[in-house]
Structure 1
């Protein structure tokens, strides 16, 4: 009996060490991602705080990157400068893309932004009047575990008639399923029912 208790105790300690290590590793990855993003957006924040002029070209450079886009919009909004945000990126599609990319970047998901992403389709569920989900296809290239799936589906929404482009969607998710595995409507239905 004593041997069993010692074995269980050692097993619990071992599992705890693994979980603790995983926690610190994910925390380090998340902190690294935040630091890299701040390195790009930080100068904009400092300029706005110092009431220095900001050019539309500076904003456009950042708004082109979907992983930075909604953060840039929120910074401009906080400083009452949202009119500087590029009109071509002030759409629900571009906002939904930005939220999905940010979600995919988390260490518990892809761990980085997808190398390619584009709107695949929009899906309106019959039970949701005037509510639309945006379905994107994205893929990874190079040496990444997700390259074997080729194009995968990701969902953001639902957005209604009253939604603004950078309203936070209630549901953002991807199961990393490839296009040939599930339909866009099937993925939206699953996300709507489970997330």
Structure 2
């Protein structure tokens, strides 16, 4: 009996250590990600707070990176400067892409932004109201674990006729399935029903 208690206690301690180690690993990765993003957006915040002039060129440089795009829009909005946001990036497609990339780079997902991403298609679900999902294909290259999947599908939505470009979508997800494994409509249906 004493041996069983020792074994069970040891397993609990090992599981706890594993979970705690995983927590600290994720926390470290997330802090690193936030630090990297702030290194780019921080100077913009400081300039806006000091009421210094911000040029459209500075903003354009930042919003070309989808992982920064919605954060830059929110910062400009907070300082009543959203008119500086480039119009070519003020679309639902560009907003959905930004939210998906931010989700993908989270440490429990891809752990970094995809190397390439592009709009694959949109899928409309007509239930109670018009619901449009944006489906993107993206891929990783090099030695990343997802590089073997080639192009994969990711979903953001739903958006309706009253949605604004940087409204946060209710569903953002990817199962890391390649485009030849599932249809865009099938992936949207799964995300809509399960997320």
TM-score strictly above 0.5? yes
1:32 maps to 2:53: no
Name 1:118's counterpart in structure 2.
118
Separation of aligned partners in 1, 2:188 and 2:11:
41
1:165 maps to 2:165: yes
TM, length-normalised to structure 1? 0.99
Where in structure 2 are the equivalents of 1:120-135 lying within 5 Å? Answer: 120-135=120-135
Provide Cα deviations, 1:124-150, integer angstroms capped at 9, x if missing partner.
Answer: 013253210000000000010000100
TM, length-normalised to structure 2? 0.99
Separation of aligned partners in 1, 2:60 and 2:40:
13
Where in structure 2 are the equivalents of 1:32-181 lying within 5 Å? Answer: 32-181=32-181
Separation of aligned partners in 2, 1:154 and 1:160:
19
1:16 maps to 2:12: no
- Unaligned residue ranges in structure 2 (runs of 5+): none
Separation of aligned partners in 1, 2:157 and 2:114:
19
RMSD: 0.6
Separation of aligned partners in 2, 1:128 and 1:65:
35
- Unaligned residue ranges in structure 1 (runs of 5+): none
Number of aligned residue pairs: 195
Structure 1 residues 29 and 62, CA gap change in structure 2 (3 angstroms)? same
Equivalent position SS for 1:38: helix
